[in-house]
Amino acid sequence: MKSKQAFLRDLVYKFTLYGDFLVGVPFGMGNVNDTYQLTFDQGGTRLHYILQRINGNVFRDPRGVMENIDRVTAHILGKIRAAHCETRKRTLRLLRNSEGKPYVVDEQGHYWRAYVFVENARAYEVLETPEQAYRIAEAFGAFQNQLVDLPGKRLNETIPDFHNTPKRFERLEKAVKEDKFGRVKEVLPEIEFALSLKDEAGTLIRLNKSGDIPERITHNDTKSNNILIDDLTGEGMCVLDLDTVMPGLSLYDFGDMVRSATNSAGEDEVDCSKVWMRFDLYEALYRGFISSAGGFMTAAEKENLPLSGKIITTEIGIRFLTDYLEGDTYFKIRRPKHNLERCRNQFTLVKSITEQMAEMQKLAKDLGVR
């Protein structure tokens, strides 16, 4: 049986690259794909690559995933070159196999991809300053802006209905009705709170169906650690984790930034008295996103930016609650009531967002965003 190092070496050599393999080590904190940083020697210079195995249990169409990523990164690279910008840090660069495909398949049928490693930049698990929040939102907004004119067919839906909040409520109601694990009786306040938000949480889907909010190409997982920040300039440079790039709504991305970046304590905090929305970070996100995405957004998109954070936070809260009622089958847990604790954390954040909604709307008015 091959050692791990021999396996990684033989696998990566199926891609077209130059140099001698030295070592591969686990990399990053992702909980979906297996990721390794590989070190190569090229004529005495050390080079690094990222090698990832696509999780086929989550992404059932890995070829569709890679087709999306290949189209998106090639389009962005073309935009960068047309603007005569330095390209090394501004988009992921896929390696290709001998047939020109951006992936290889191992003996077990697992799909792997490889990227050029982006040096002298890093991702932040927790935002430290409003300036970082601004840069991250600016970068995600620019990402959407670069893809407004992507030619060709509609991108593949890598996870159908990923942010379809009404369908998330349908699943919650089904889990409540079935109560397979006898947990409903202990979460009645959470169920009541969730259902009180059902109508409002469907706002974005309704606006999309009416044509007021158009479909865009969106990232759909806009956590702060999915942007590389340049070590020297502090600029948001490169968007990572493109598996969920697919058709969506612009407000999904902004809403998820609000949910993940403004929580004063993080989503695993058990003491909900420590959880609230940090308005200073919200304002930085808002200003950064509008600076790069405001030019293509419709009036309805801009009007609903403040509400989007509440809707996406509600959605994630009910997903945690649903998973708890279904027996903790989707999200990884580290303790018996972890999903319930996460749900309560998110619902507390929803309440804080609601309390600050007037101030959020005033910010938009003060900035003249319409």
Q: Which two tokens stand for residue 103?
A: 């992936």
Per-residue confidence in pLDDT tens, the chain, 370 aa: 778 999 999 999 999 988 899 999 988 665 567 899 999 999 899 999 999 999 887 888 999 999 999 999 999 999 888 876 766 678 889 999 999 999 999 999 999 999 998 888 888 877 889 999 999 999 999 999 999 999 999 999 999 899 999 999 999 999 999 999 999 999 999 999 999 999 999 999 999 999 999 999 999 999 888 999 888 888 888 999 999 999 999 999 999 999 999 999 988 999 999 999 999 999 999 999 999 999 999 999 999 999 999 999 999 999 999 999 999 988 878 899 999 999 999 999 999 999 999 999 999 888 876 6
- Check residue 224 and give its pLDDT: 86
For the chain, the C-alpha Rg in angstroms (whole number) is 21
Distance CA 247, CA 156 (A): 8
Parallel/antiparallel/unpaired status of strands 20-26 and 236-239: unpaired
- Check residue 49 and give its pLDDT: 94
- Check residue 88 and give its pLDDT: 67
- Check residue 131 and give its pLDDT: 94
For the beta carbon of residue 3, count every other beta carbon within 10 angstroms: 8
Find where tokens 């993080």 sit.
266
Distance CA 43, CA 114 (A): 21
Output the CA angle 53-259-137, nearest 5 degrees.
Answer: 75
The residue extents of the domains of the chain are 4-119, 130-366
Alpha carbon separation from 42 to 87, 128, 260 (Å, rounded):
21, 36, 40
Confirm whether 4-119 and 130-366 share one CATH topology: no
- Check residue 126 and give its pLDDT: 78
| Strand stretches in 43-132, DSSP E | 45-53, 104-105, 111-116, 121-122
Alpha carbon separation from 366 to 304, 356, 360, 369 (Å, rounded):
15, 15, 10, 8
- Three-state secondary-structure class, residue 353: helix
- Check residue 330 and give its pLDDT: 80
DSSP-derived letter for residue 15 is B
Distance CA 313, CA 255 (A): 7
Alpha helices in 197-304 (DSSP H): 198-201, 203-210, 250-261, 279-293, 299-303
Q: Helix 305-325 vs helix 338-355: angle between axes, to the nearest 10 degrees?
A: 160
CATH homologous superfamily of 130-366 equals: Aminoglycoside phosphotransferase (APH), C-terminal lobe (3.90.1200.10)
Task: Give the architecture-level CATH label for domain 4-119.
Answer: 2-Layer Sandwich (3.30)
